[in-house]
Structure 1
């Protein structure tokens, strides 16, 4: 009589356990590999330590700034900014750039979008924008504040840039980071202005990421 080799439920259960163990090993190997790659990227990031971009105001011109109603303003502002990437091994993708002007905490132009661009290592770019505000609401004291600055002979304008950027290290590109740039332009304000208010004095801007 031939021998019949029967497998008990215990043996089947044992094989099922080995199958699950194989999947656990595979998952552990994949997790270890992923953690190693992330640690390597983080280590490269720490070594290179990207420095935030630097912005400076090159020139500013105010062509229009008048009240069209009790609390409504029309304005036209043109400006030129210099954007510098101080990093030696890190590039910057500027995905979003929006610029607007404010005076004593009051927004006097609408946001203007600048085209996105890539900035290479230690590269400097010239950015120009024309800002316009039509029928924008302002505080009742706006006219008084402008008149007082005209008597003093100095007009202080705040220019702001808000946007999103990505860092590039070799072939690796980071996620998006929000950034804010704050610039202050001081323009001579004569008692009887003969033309646009202009400032050609360069001024450093503060950048927050």
Structure 2
């Protein structure tokens, strides 16, 4: 004989009450989780202060800067840069660095690739590059602009570095960030060109910006990192990465 069970309205009401209690428990559990996560992000942010890499122009020498034909430039420049990682406990991987020289917003050498390297905590590296250009097209006003600089007694070049960097926090390594460095080289220039190279040894501080690469192809400003313990756990490293993205949004809003 089969047994038929019929639930009373009172039983159904009790079941619905239990479901409501379950939803409330889940809501409070998720609220507590996100509150804890936000608190952890805030604590990590207070510990980690963003600091971008620093570059200084140590020396720049122009060995050749002359027109070989109508609006065609030959150039030869040697430069030395000092790269410094100011972070106490964050390393930096430098990838795909391209160096070139510009004059009056015109590129006057081809891109020169620097070998990739890793920079430890508060380490410094000397970077040297030979920049050349053969038959590079320039504006028709190039010769006129150089003449004006001779009259003013100085020649100003922009020495630029573009590339990608990655941050290393403990065992965690970030995604790639675009980095842009601009150094001003100011060289004394008389009414006649000297037989030797034009040199700049002022130790000029370079401006440095870096941008997080986004899949959609846009660039958003991102802060760098600063100080974190070597034994930072993977979880904290992920939180730290999230903080970088939040810094990005803050900079964009500014």
Provide structure 2 residue ranges, at least 5 long, that are not aligned to the other structure.
3-32, 211-254
CA distance in 2, matches of 1:73, 1:166: 36
CA distance in 2, matches of 1:140, 1:131: 22
**TM-score, normalised by the number of residues in structure 1:** 0.79
Shift in Å at residue 89 of structure 1?
1.1
Which residue of 2 is the match for residue 78 of structure 1?
A: 78
Greater share of strand: 1
What's the secondary structure of 1:78's corresponding residue? strand
User: Kindly tell me: are residues 142 and 49 of structure 1, through their superposed partners in 2, closer, same or farther at Cα, counting changes over 3 Å?
Assistant: same
CA distance in 1, matches of 2:177, 2:43: 19
Which residue of 2 is the match for residue 204 of structure 1?
A: 205
Shift in Å at residue 143 of structure 1?
0.6
**TM-score, normalised by the number of residues in structure 2:** 0.66
Which residue of 1 is the match for residue 136 of structure 2?
A: 136
Name the count of aligned residue pairs.
Answer: 194
Alignment of 1:20-59 (within 5 A): 44=44, 47-59=47-59
User: Kindly tell me: are residues 135 and 154 of structure 1, through their superposed partners in 2, closer, same or farther at Cα, counting changes over 3 Å?
Assistant: same
Which deviations, in whole Å up to 9, do the C-alpha atoms of 1:159-208 show, x marking residues without a partner? 11111111111111111111111100000112241211111111000001
Which deviations, in whole Å up to 9, do the C-alpha atoms of 1:9-57 show, x marking residues without a partner? xxxxxxxxxxxxxxxxxxxxxxxx9xx9999689646632331000000
User: Kindly tell me: are residues 180 and 38 of structure 1, through their superposed partners in 2, closer, same or farther at Cα, counting changes over 3 Å?
Assistant: farther
The answer on whether the counterparts of 1:50 and 1:90 sit within 8 Å (CA) in structure 2 is no
What's the secondary structure of 2:143's corresponding residue? helix
CA distance in 1, matches of 2:168, 2:78: 31
Which residue of 2 is the match for residue 164 of structure 1?
A: 164
Which residue of 1 is the match for residue 175 of structure 2?
A: 175
User: Kindly tell me: are residues 114 and 41 of structure 1, through their superposed partners in 2, closer, same or farther at Cα, counting changes over 3 Å?
Assistant: farther
The answer on whether the counterparts of 1:98 and 1:111 sit within 8 Å (CA) in structure 2 is yes
Q: 187-196 vs 73-82, which deviates more?
A: 187-196
